[in-house]
Structure 1
Amino acid sequence: MTPNSNTTANHDQDNQSQVTSAEVENLTIKELWKLLENWYKEHCPEAYEVLRPPITTEELQELETELGVKLPEDYKESLLVHNGTDYREFSLINLHNYLGHKNVLDEWKFHLSMLEHFGIDKEVENDFSEIKNVWWAPKWIPFTEDGAGQHYFIDLDPTDKGTVGQLGSFDHEVGIDMLLGKSFHEFFSNYVRDIYDGKYSALDGGLFDNI
């Protein structure tokens, strides 16, 4: 059966414990958030309580202007549901904070200042041909942080082997350590599926991938 808008409602009614890849891959960001909110409410209310209200259209326009980029539609759709979480109150996505737009700008500007003041824009090799061999690039947009120098970012300046809007994981000590998917939607739908598959545990202060 082709997934549709009734999928979320069905999960509300029967509280199924699993969501398959086939079920989530065609859901919208808004529908995925609904599934996630339902799981949070039942299994981890601390996570639900830190979700922020939607970003406004004015704030979204200001964010793109400050960044100097056109953000991917799937990521903007997510911000239009929840503009991040209460910063560092409770971590989502493998102990990472899902950043609101102001924190996105703060983290982005910090890395640009590092490039400017320390000249660390030299080539830094990584194991992923899709991502440029640099320490940080101006068109990498951080959307999470773990408080210890690691970010998940949206790559709007990939190599010719990559995809605009792909996601990577950056560690300030080692550089790029993971390729997370070809789009925010792919990454987010996989996260929702993994949540329902029991791959995350609630620990003090956040959800941690236990697989």
Structure 2
Amino acid sequence: MEAVCSSQLQDLPTDPLLHILSYLHCRDLVRPDSALSWYELFVQTYSDLGRYVDVYSTLKKNWDQLKQFLHQRCPRIISSLKGGALEEDLDAVETQIGLKLPDDYRCSCRIHNGQKLVIPGLMGSMSLSNHYRSEVLLDVETAAGGFQTRPGMKTCLPLTFCFHTGLSQYMHLGEEGEEGRERGELFYPCPNQRASDPSAIDMFITGSSFLSWFTSYVQNVVSGDFPIIRDQIFR
């Protein structure tokens, strides 16, 4: 059966073959230290990352753009990035929290599993006369440790963390409409001080999905919309 599949793929016309390979990054196919053929390398990569075929190319491109920029402008941040997580690590987190992680978030963790808990944070800093914030992109294991089950924040996973304020951006992993949120939505929680119910949480939405949240941030960084001051990204 394997030989038949191999023959079929290699016999494909150029256009559909290029379409298939467009879902992979060129660096994933060009590995000088590999003794595998391009087809064997494709099969190996697809078997490992195939579930992310709809988002991998976009996320890999944005991670590469961000790292290229950080190498030049923010070397302290680039040195804090962690390597990619394994599928087993992500599966273990899903078992721990009892919910599935969105594929776009899982795919990003496979490329880089967040950063070390250091300042400055990858996800930007803010500074006023009496206020400073710098958000670290959490690795998935640390994020799972902060998974919320309390009323008002049920099934919410922290993606970022600020040491100075204790604030995080969260991603909702529950059902559509649960506590007024959509699945995969990212937000800052804003406790409603006027509500009699302490679980009443307003929110400032920062993204409709991890993919849109991360890629829009990266493009703001690499385009120069966010200034770089003292080796930090300010937004």
TM-score, normalisation: structure 1: 0.69
Q: Deviations over 1:69-102 (max 9, x none)?
A: 1111100011001111011243121221100122
CA distance in 1, matches of 2:173, 2:138: 18
2:144 paired with 1:105: yes
Q: Which runs of 5+ in 2 are unaligned?
A: 1-21, 28-54, 125-133, 194-200
Verify the 8 A CA contact 2:115 2:136 in the aligned structure 1: yes
Query: Can you list the C-alpha shifts for 1:126-177, whole angstroms capped at 9, x where unaligned?
Result: xxxxxxxx2x21x111111112221111112342775321111125787444
Q: Is the 8 A contact 2:73 2:231 kept in 1?
A: no
The answer for the alignment partner of 1:159 in structure 2 is: 177
**3-state SS of 1:70 partner:** coil
Q: Give, in angstroms, the shift of residue 7 of structure 1.
A: 10
Q: Which residue of 2 aligns with 1:17?
A: none
Question: What does residue 140 of structure 1 align with?
Answer: 156
Distance 1:196 1:168 in 2: 23
| Aligned positions of 1:60-209 closer than 5 A | 60-94=90-124, 95-108=134-147, 111-112=148-149, 115=150, 121=151, 134=152, 136-137=153-154, 139-147=155-163, 148-157=165-174, 158-159=176-177, 162-171=181-190, 175-203=201-229, 206-209=232-235
1:30 partner letter: K
Counterpart of 1:187 in structure 2: which amino acid? W
Separation (CA, whole Å) in 2 of partners of 1:84 and 1:202: 20
Larger relative contact order (CA 8 Å, sep ≥ 6) = 1
Query: How far, CA to CA, are the matches of 1:176 and 1:146 in structure 2?
Result: 19
- Structure 2 residue matching 1:186: 3-state secondary structure: helix
Distance in 2 between the 1:88 and 1:35 partners?
22
8 Å CA contact retained: 2:70, 2:77: yes
CA distance 1:166–1:45, shift in 2 (3 Å): same
* 1:84/1:56 CA distance change after superposition, 3 Å: same
Compute the displacement of 1:204 (Å): 5.2
Moved more, 177-186 or 200-209: 200-209
Hey, what does 2:10 align to over in structure 1?
Answer: none
Gap change, CA 1:176 and 1:99, over 3 Å in 2: farther
Contact 1:149–1:171, Cα closer than 8 Å, also in 2: no
Work out whether residues 8 and 34 of structure 1, in 8 Å CA contact, stay in contact via their aligned partners in 2. Answer: no
Alignment partners' CA distance in 1, 2:203 and 2:231: 24
Q: Secondary structure at the match of 1:141?
A: strand
Aligned CA RMSD, in angstroms, stands at 2.9
CA contact (8 A) 1:200 1:207 kept: yes
- Amino acid paired to 1:208: F
| 1:34 and 2:64 correspond | yes
Q: Give the deviation of 1:60 after TM superposition.
A: 1.0
User: Number of matched residues?
Assistant: 168
Question: Is the deviation greater in 82-91 or in 35-44?
Answer: 82-91
